[in-house]
Amino acid sequence: MNLITYILYVFFTSSVIIWVGKTCSAKGEVFILQALNDASLTARVNRSLLIGYYLVNLGYVLISIQTWPGLNSLEEVLLELSQRTGLLIFLLGGLHYFNIYFITVHLKKISNP
């Protein structure tokens, strides 16, 4: 039962992570360009943010599996999947707002001294 849950969890969360990453990268490039006013720097920063985003979130997904309890029923599987997926989506939102804050406050200071 645990192996099936692990596979479902990695599949669902990886799908959400990749979809959110691609969407934020595509839509956020304009936002970064406005903050930096440099197209080549914007592309590098956007790629770096996307790679860091994938590494942090996919790493979290894989590490979090270690802390799972033994699951013996379908109810436990659904409860664990929903709790862990909900926590990941909450963390994705927090990371997104941190990136926006970082870009608007700190990156603007660095690029426009």
Q: Considering the domain boundaries, does residue 54 fall inside one?
A: yes
> Tell me: the pLDDT tens digits for 73-89?
888 888 888 888 898 88
Q: Considering the domain boundaries, does residue 49 fall inside one?
A: yes
Q: Considering the domain boundaries, does residue 20 fall inside one?
A: no
Q: Considering the domain boundaries, does residue 72 fall inside one?
A: yes
Write out the chain in H/E/C secondary structure. Answer: CHHHHHHHHHHHHHHHHHHHHHHHHHHHHHHHHHHHCCHHHHHHHHHHHHHHHHHHHHHHHHHHHHHCCCCCCHHHHHHHHHHHHHHHHHHHHHHHHHHHHHHHHHHHHHHCC
Q: Considering the domain boundaries, does residue 14 fall inside one?
A: no
Please give the residue range of the domain that contains residue 84: 2-9+29-111
Identify the pLDDT of residue 108: 65
Q: Domain count for the chain, please give it.
A: 1
> Tell me: the pLDDT tens digits for 26-73?
988 888 888 778 889 889 988 998 998 899 889 988 888 888 888 888
Q: Considering the domain boundaries, does residue 44 fall inside one?
A: yes
